[in-house]
Amino acid sequence: MTPAERLARLRLIRTPHVGPVSWHQLMQRFGSGEAALDALPDLALRGGAGRPRIAPADAVLREIDRVAALGARHIFSDEDDYSPLLCEVEGAPPVVIVRGDAAMLRRPCVAIVGARNASAAACRFARQLAADLAARDVTVVSGLARGVDTAAHIGALGGSTAGVIASGIDIAFPPENAALQEKIASDQLLVAEQPPGTEPLARHFPSRNRIIAGMAHGTVVIEAAPRSGSLITARRAGDYGREVMAVPGSPLDPRAQGCNLLIREGATLIQNVDDVIEAVGPIDTRMVREPVRPFALAAGALSAAAIDAGEGDRRDVAALLGPTPVAIDELVRQSGQAATTVQLVLLELELAGRIERHAGARVSLV
């Protein structure tokens, strides 16, 4: 990939209203970041907006220089060092920033997540489970949060562990984990989606959670409240077709309610490392119908041959949208339009800032 193409791709994802799904669709339709940038103003105009505020080249060049100065690098979703499991999921980040050994993501990966205010018993179990997994050459993935995440990373330091953070790669959060984060970045692997200098805002954590779930063959939850971020990670793992595992706890402990709920809904009950290895073990090849394709090549992605949508098509699709998220498949059925036409109309509306994408291939009006 040429430096000019890398710059164009990074400018594209740093442009307002260009999200992971629209980035992949633009690349699929136009074949390169440079061509997609050239087409952006016209697409946004068709969606009902003025000229888009494309990320300035000098600002993106400063980001590239800052990442290099930190000893990190950008990895795009079609490059060899990108997580092969993450590449398969809906809305995979077009680019991540990493410090450390990205090759460890090609080993079997298991995510361990849980409560920030975890009990001492939960932290001890997380630390021991992570150490046992690392001893079996499994990469332990977690989010470097307080409690269970911290215990899991510490337990896996003797093997391999990957920390996924919600901030820029140069910002430690929580602050007391600064030394642990630096050790993981130096000796293991640190992953961030946000550019350097980005503070860990609340909206970044669900995005971080989808990366944790997407990078792993399965997710283990150890203590979690019913509405916690750990359960968001577990449900994302289930949406991606990955194994969801949970450690049971006392019904008298509110921190165990989320795990017990997951088990009641069908998650695998975990008591030791053997249970985890059995749950994420290889599937019999006779049960696999076809190879898993990267998300960008999945059905419904826009090809270069996709026709342009007419005004009538745009009106028909836009009339079906509202503030409540609706599945894109339902829009295709209700509108009677081809899937590629609906996808193109949604792309134009997103670039114009008129729609928002949600998990499960759903969209709503902003």
* Structural domain spans, the chain: 98-280, 311-365
The reply to whether the predicted model has a pTM over 0.85 is: yes
Domains 98-280 and 311-365 share a fold: no
pLDDT at 73: 96
- Cα 188 from Cα 232, distance rounded (Å): 25
Give the Cα separation of 252 and 289 in Å (integer). Answer: 44
Q: Which residues pair with 114 in a beta bridge?
A: 222
- Among 39, 42, 60, 63, smallest CA distance to 51 is for 42
Q: What is the rounded (10 degree) CA torsion for 36, 293, 139, 97?
A: 0
Contacts of 128 (CB under 8 A, 6+ apart): 155
What token pair was written down for 223?
Answer: 């203590």
Query: Do residues 8 and 31 touch, judged by C-beta distance below 8 A?
Result: no
- Contact call for residues 106 and 82 (beta carbons, < 8 A): no
The listed CATH number (3.30.70.100, 3.40.50.1000, 3.90.1150.10, 3.40.50.450) that belongs to domain 98-280:
3.40.50.450
Residue with tokens 């136009």: 30
Residue carrying structure tokens 């059995």? 278
Q: What's the pLDDT at 52?
A: 78
- Predicted local confidence at residue 313, as pLDDT: 73
Block means of pLDDT (10 residues each) for the chain, length 366 residues? 94 93 91 92 83 90 96 94 91 95 91 95 96 96 96 96 96 95 96 95 92 96 91 93 94 92 95 94 55 49 54 80 90 86 87 86 87
- In sequence order, what are the residues at sequence separation of 6 or more whose Cβ sits closer than 8 angstroms to the Cβ of residue 246? 220, 221, 222, 234, 258, 259, 260, 262, 263, 267, 268, 269, 270
Sheet containing 189-192: which strands, arranged edge to edge? 73-76, 95-100, 189-192, 161-165, 139-142, 109-114, 218-222, 243-247, 268-269
What per-residue confidence (pLDDT) applies to 350? 87
- Token match 């074949």: residue? 31
Task: Report the distance separating Cα 19 and Cα 21, nearest Å.
Answer: 6
Dihedral (Cα; 139, 145, 149, 154), 10-degree rounding? 70
Nearest CA-CA partner of 356 in 91, 97, 166, 92: 91
The CATH number for 311-365, chosen from 1.10.10.10, 3.40.640.10, 3.40.50.720, 1.20.1050.10, is 1.10.10.10
CA angle 100, 104, 105 (to 5 degrees): 105
Q: Which residues on adjacent β-strands are paired with residue 161? A: 140
Q: 26 by DSSP, 3-state: which?
A: helix
Q: Name the H helices within the chain.
A: 3-13, 20-30, 33-46, 57-69, 120-135, 148-156, 178-187, 204-215, 229-239, 257-264, 273-279, 311-319, 328-335, 339-351
